[in-house]
Structure 1
């Protein structure tokens, strides 16, 4: 038998460990007692240490300060373990997964996030399957990256999104697909884990500035582009995400383009991404030419979660446009 792997389990809160209260579901401290029987099923493969984030939070309340604290926790403990399991609320799990993947690209060990649509103690909860899927992922020797394990599937952090609140199939990765499918009967099937060579010349570490302000604007037919232009001109953020149509197309509104051009001159990064789930910003249509000329960065296959994580790190670490483009290329987004 191969040597048992030693895992760190970091419980941050979320539905998986919630219990009913007078005002609704809220995180509870004693999740370790509920998951213990499932951990025993994997006792031949793993030993583990249990850590609890204080305070536990509903993931919809997550802040940049939380991410900074969690990265500090990861830096403190990762070297002592063969893998990290993070129990997290589903609302912002994909955002956190992207932050971890982009902030610690040289970790070279599995970081697996999972949670649940229903509390562990609830009838017919999906929590047991999700936890078993996550634990089974640590058996994969080729897995050396940050992923989401959910509903029997493994998803790469980069490009993942929460896609449902109504079913157990809560997550997907429209561009890159699933990395594998697991069940207790068949084990892992349809494996497609792409290994990447880290850029050892990278300017690590990558920190988070809790005061970083990233503004995201979604364009819709008839959207008040003057309002967006006013916001950019009079309250310029540290970074901007434009969720445009289709392949990156936007209205040729002169006020909007001028505002974007002006903040671009201040070296504030502007990332253009498609609002389509499987969309890709590309220089295809003339309609998007004016925006490209105004100095925006083509986000390629970036979804909102990846874009937000990337610009949060970019502004926190003073990356220039070329550095952002390099990272997009490294993760096969452009």
Structure 2
């Protein structure tokens, strides 16, 4: 639950502080989430040149309690954040979410599905280093996020990090230390900022038909209780034993993201494996074919890939693993059968994949 705040009639942006490295301070056990973020942000932003401060929107800061170390983030946190965003929807023109980087891409992906039809900027950011640390990337990311949150042309979930705006469900964390922590390997950046100047690549923004209501938006999450979902991620490797799959695929697992070789290939000569996957599909398990490669798409054009399609496994095209997992979570909430999930998974809702 967020701490109570005193709304300002002048504020156009809400900053939701969920935790993460950006707000951490040293403790006896290492860096840990810390409070007083409103005052700390005010001090940090005051260090910007006057001309850069002048173009930033006024904001209210909302602090979640308790704060979340993103390594401890759970799927129910995605739904709590989405509910909060919907509750605040009519009060602000845009939103910034300060979040830890470890699971930032999961949260951004999940929110893209849970806020379909929101039609306002939701900008997720954080930092590799704490706000007050020497050489920190935090202030630059916050500045970029605030600039982005007042851009009404941005009607989707975006990640603002390292000078780039990326679609929330198309990015993944690629570095543990670099200020360029996130990449969008299969989609162009939506924009860039530098020293207070923001450029939005309008040609890359969502089309009108990708801003629709979706299954969940009509409920605005107010009447939907989060149901725990059981999803496994399995990475194929040479010599993967069937016994291992048996343990991973057994109940209560409802869906599996199967990370395959190349453009969606699997060892089709392993008849025992193919039969096992086919049987699992027939039993109602939803299995998604996702390439282990960061760039490129599942095509199933090779015989080794088409064999998976013959087993009833569905393509994730060029989705990130984070997007595939969170999309499955969302569909497991709103779909009644595995066949319904498979059909829905193949549709594009908010730019999460591209079909070449």
Deviates more, 1:280-289 or 1:34-43: 34-43
Q: Quick check: 1:317 aligned with 2:334? A: yes
SS in 2 for 1:49: strand
Deviates more, 1:6-15 or 1:174-183: 174-183
What is the aligned partner in structure 1 of residue 39 from structure 2? 33
What is the aligned partner in structure 1 of residue 19 from structure 2? 13
- 1:55 is aligned, of 61, 66, 75, to 66
Structure 2 unpaired stretches of 5+: 1-8, 47-51
Deviation (angstroms), 1:139: 4.0
Task: Indicate conservation of the 8 Å contact 1:4/1:46, yes or no.
Answer: no
- 1:306 is aligned, of 309, 319, 323, to 323
Paired with 1:242 and 1:267, the residues of 2 have a C-alpha distance of: 15
SS in 2 for 1:55: coil
Q: 1:6 to 1:296 in 2, by over 3 A?
A: same
Structure 1, residues 119-141: CA drift from partner, whole Å, max 9, x if none?
Answer: 00111111011111111213434
Deviates more, 1:312-321 or 1:123-132: 312-321
What is the aligned partner in structure 2 of residue 235 from structure 1? 251
Task: Indicate conservation of the 8 Å contact 2:19/2:33, yes or no.
Answer: yes
Aligned residues: 331
Deviation (angstroms), 1:68: 1.9
Paired with 2:101 and 2:239, the residues of 1 have a C-alpha distance of: 32
Task: Indicate conservation of the 8 Å contact 2:190/2:200, yes or no.
Answer: no
Structure 1, residues 269-327: CA drift from partner, whole Å, max 9, x if none?
Answer: 21111010113111211111221111011110111011011111111212431111123
Paired with 1:211 and 1:311, the residues of 2 have a C-alpha distance of: 12
Deviation (angstroms), 1:16: 0.1
Deviation (angstroms), 1:45: 4.6
How does 1:66-85 map onto structure 2 within 5 Å?
Answer: 66-85=77-96
Deviation (angstroms), 1:165: 0.7
The structure where strand makes up a greater share of residues is 1
Structure 1, residues 63-93: CA drift from partner, whole Å, max 9, x if none?
Answer: 1121221121112112211011000000000
Deviates more, 1:89-98 or 1:65-74: 65-74
Task: Indicate conservation of the 8 Å contact 2:121/2:156, yes or no.
Answer: yes
What is the aligned partner in structure 1 of residue 216 from structure 2? 204
Paired with 2:204 and 2:93, the residues of 1 have a C-alpha distance of: 18
| TM-score w.r.t. length of structure 1 | 0.91
How does 1:121-136 map onto structure 2 within 5 Å?
Answer: 121-136=132-147
Deviation (angstroms), 1:200: 4.2
What is the aligned partner in structure 2 of residue 24 from structure 1? 30
Structure 1, residues 138-158: CA drift from partner, whole Å, max 9, x if none?
Answer: 343421110000011111112
Q: 1:180 to 1:27 in 2, by over 3 A?
A: same
Q: 1:4 to 1:333 in 2, by over 3 A?
A: farther
SS in 2 for 1:57: coil
Deviation (angstroms), 1:264: 1.8
Paired with 1:281 and 1:209, the residues of 2 have a C-alpha distance of: 31
Paired with 1:328 and 1:225, the residues of 2 have a C-alpha distance of: 35
Q: Quick check: 1:248 aligned with 2:264? A: yes
Paired with 2:349 and 2:55, the residues of 1 have a C-alpha distance of: 40
- 2:301 is aligned, of 259, 284, 295, to 284
SS in 2 for 1:167: coil
